[in-house]
Amino acid sequence: MSDRERMRELARRGGHAKAAKLRAARGQLEPLGGTIRELAAALGAFQEPSWARWWAFLGALFALPLEAGEREAFRRFTGRDAPPAAPTGEAWVIAGRRAGKSRIAALVAAYLAACRDYRAVLSPGERGVVMALAADRAQARVILGYVKALFAHPTLAPLVARRLRDSVELRTGVAVEVHTASYRSTRGYTAVGAVLDEIAFWPTDESANPDAEILAAVRPAMATVPGAVLLAISTPYAPRGELYRAWERHYGRAESDVLVWRAASRDMNPGLSAGVVARAYEDDPAAAAAEYGAEFRRDVQAFLDAEAVRAVTVPGRRELAPQRSVAYVAFADPSGGSADSFTLAIAHVAGGRAVLDVVRERRPPFSPDDVVREYAEVLAAYGLARVTGDRYGGTWPAERFQVHGIRYEPSALPKSDLYRALLPLVNAGRVELLDDRRLGAQLAGLERRVARGGRDSVDHPPGGRDDRANAAAGALVLAAPARAPFLFGSGGSYRLDRDEEPRVEEPDPADALDADALRRAGGVWFPGEAWPTAGEPVERGRFTGDPRPPLEPPKDPDADGGP
């Protein structure tokens, strides 16, 4: 095909292409111009009726004229009467899985990069970036695939200067970059647009509030760019984080300059099989209501407040060296070395507080034997010949630690109960944490999931980790001072000295704790004053218990703490 023929071919596919090609040939780096509708039409994409709801959204976002049906969709999914008269700088879409979120995010990114003119705001040589941020590598690959497919179309291809692994650079001086959500990667750009995919699922591993931090970095980077668009788009999850905040503050608010659109998967993508959705609701209604119904999960709540965790973190304290004549306790969260980290924490009591001395983590891959040897040395340095640990993996941790003369005792308390026991200690300021970013983020990221009709659980969020938090919680709860007993099941903590009247509170059924498990773990149990089972209120009465040191579990459970 000759150049002339190629030009004609491009012209047939849309005026955009020809113009772009001519400009490129002449070295002019002009953006395509036009509306997002025109771009999609030129690309021959998103034209099927199944995309109609998305066109209502995009029309509202860019203040394009809406048809009657689109206005109706606007009202239904934004809770607002009239679409904004001017383009919106910030929009949030809360929609279910397979709703088409990532494809639309890619289209918006391509449009912002290829069609808008930023030459007035970019200095010569300065590159404007449309950031596309995804929850993880897999999601980033999905978006990158969608973006690259759009730029492979003859309408856009002539604009492409370079295709790199994670980005497409255009001759207009703008690039689309796709990354996983990480605070560092958003620094130092002039952002002409940002699409934030699955923002409710950004990993809280390195930072407790990655969504808030990235928004705080992206917003000023876009502030100098007229017409810059921030589009956050996600399946909802727990009622926390920036997605929830946006929904609370801006959904259904006519006066708001932030657009919030919420719709179930099948409302946005009618092609999605009704059977798939119905089966999901049968399997797990709470999960399906979020994943396909776009409702925030009321059964998932934040567990520890990030502020409370910060308050008990000793700034600058990385690790405490072993001291003579201090009794330490240790807790390990072993792993086989292929998927999860193997962590170890050491703590002691001082001044009525449980003090964290050490948190070690080995990330996979590793040889479990090597890590056990290393940790055995650490334990020995702190005068420890035993370590309590997760029940993970049956007997191998005990056998391997035994080789080094360390007794490994499976924890009587499951992980959820360790976290529940840690909660009042943190909230009452009765622990000292190391200044460890990942530990702090993991603790603040923990969430409580209320099982229907069952015990709640405390764990890391989907895709998150809690290896450090688990080891630290184990050691701190083991170390928790006996004279400042913690009562389980209260969600608070009480200093109960002898003859003091315990506070009377309605128990939270979700907080019920297995009294036997608590005893086996050497926790402190106050018959009559705490609630052994869900739903029984605490009786007001004199405190007559005799708390035992947590490190010495009672031989006879029934003799524990009785009057």
* Contacting residues toward Mg ion, per CB under 5 A: 101-102
282 residue type, one letter: E
Residue 141 vs 438, nearer CB to Mg ion = 141
Strands (E), 205-321: 229-234, 258-263, 300-302
CB of 97 to ligand ADP, least distance (A): 5
In degrees and rounded to multiples of 5, residue 495 shows phi and psi of -90, 110
Q: β-strand 174-180 against 128-134: which pairing, if any?
A: parallel
CB of 221 to ligand ADP, least distance (A): 24
From the list 93-101, 123-131, 220-228, 443-451, the region that binds ligand ADP by CB under 6 A is 93-101
Residue 18 binds which entry of Mg ion, ligand ADP, none, with Cβ cut-offs from 5 to 8 Å by kind?
none
Among the listed residues 266, 263, 267, the one whose alpha carbon sits nearest the alpha carbon of residue 294: 263
Residue 99 binds which entry of Mg ion, ligand ADP, none, with Cβ cut-offs from 5 to 8 Å by kind?
ligand ADP
Question: Degrees (nearest 5) of the Cα angle 88, 51, 128?
Answer: 40
Among 100, 389, 464, 547, binds ligand ADP (CB under 6 A): 100
Residue 144 vs 425, nearer CB to Mg ion = 144
Q: β-strand 90-95 against 229-234: which pairing, if any?
A: parallel
Binders of ligand ADP among 31-60, rule CB under 6 A? 48, 50-51, 54
CA-CA distances (angstroms) from residue 320 to 381, 538, 542?
12, 39, 39
CB of 235 to ligand ADP, least distance (A): 7
From the list 95-103, 158-166, 301-309, 501-509, the region that binds ligand ADP by CB under 6 A is 95-103
Q: What is the DSSP letter of 287?
A: H
CB of 105 to Mg ion, least distance (A): 8
Residue 105 vs 355, nearer CB to ligand ADP = 105
From the list 263-271, 338-346, 458-466, 554-562, the region that binds ligand ADP by CB under 6 A is 263-271
379 residue type, one letter: L
In degrees and rounded to multiples of 5, residue 159 shows phi and psi of -80, -15
Residue 269 vs 343, nearer CB to ligand ADP = 269
From the list 100-108, 164-172, 389-397, 405-413, the region that binds ligand ADP by CB under 6 A is 100-108
128 residue type, one letter: G
Residue 271 binds which entry of Mg ion, ligand ADP, none, with Cβ cut-offs from 5 to 8 Å by kind?
ligand ADP
Cβ neighbors of 147 (< 8 A, separation 6 or more) are: 106, 109, 110, 132, 168, 176, 178
Among 20, 140, 170, 268, binds ligand ADP (CB under 6 A): 268
Residue 269 vs 416, nearer CB to ligand ADP = 269
User: With binding defined as CB under 6 A, does residue 266 bind ligand ADP?
Assistant: no
User: With binding defined as CB under 6 A, does residue 101 bind ligand ADP?
Assistant: yes
Which long-range contacts link 494-498 to residues 24+ away (Cβ below 8 Å)?
494/424, 496/526, 496/529, 496/543, 496/545, 496/547, 497/543, 498/543
Residue closest to ligand ADP (Cβ): 100
CB of 32 to ligand ADP, least distance (A): 23
Pattern 117-156, binding to ligand ADP, x per CB under 6 A?
-------------------------x--------------
State how far the Cα of 554 lies from the Cα of 97, in Å rounded to an integer: 51
Task: Provide DSSP, 371-397.
Answer: HHHHHHHHHHHTT-SEEEE--TTTTHH
Q: In DSSP terms, which residues pair with 232 in a beta bridge?
A: 92, 196
Dihedral sign from CA coordinates of 85, 216, 199, 451: negative
Among 18, 21, 103, 250, binds ligand ADP (CB under 6 A): 103
CB of 4 to Mg ion, least distance (A): 41
Residue 98 binds which entry of ligand ADP, Mg ion, none, with Cβ cut-offs from 5 to 8 Å by kind?
ligand ADP
Pattern 345-384, binding to ligand ADP, x per CB under 6 A?
----------------------------------------
Q: What is the DSSP letter of 120?
A: T
In degrees and rounded to multiples of 5, residue 304 shows phi and psi of -105, 140
294 residue type, one letter: A
CB of 146 to Mg ion, least distance (A): 9
CB of 208 to Mg ion, least distance (A): 24
Q: What is the DSSP letter of 559?
A: G
Among 88, 102, 172, 234, binds ligand ADP (CB under 6 A): 102
User: With binding defined as CB under 6 A, does residue 271 bind ligand ADP?
Assistant: yes
Among the listed residues 411, 428, 409, 419, the one whose alpha carbon sits nearest the alpha carbon of residue 485: 428
Q: Which residues bind ligand ADP (CB under 6 A)?
A: 48, 50-51, 54, 97-103, 142, 268-269, 271
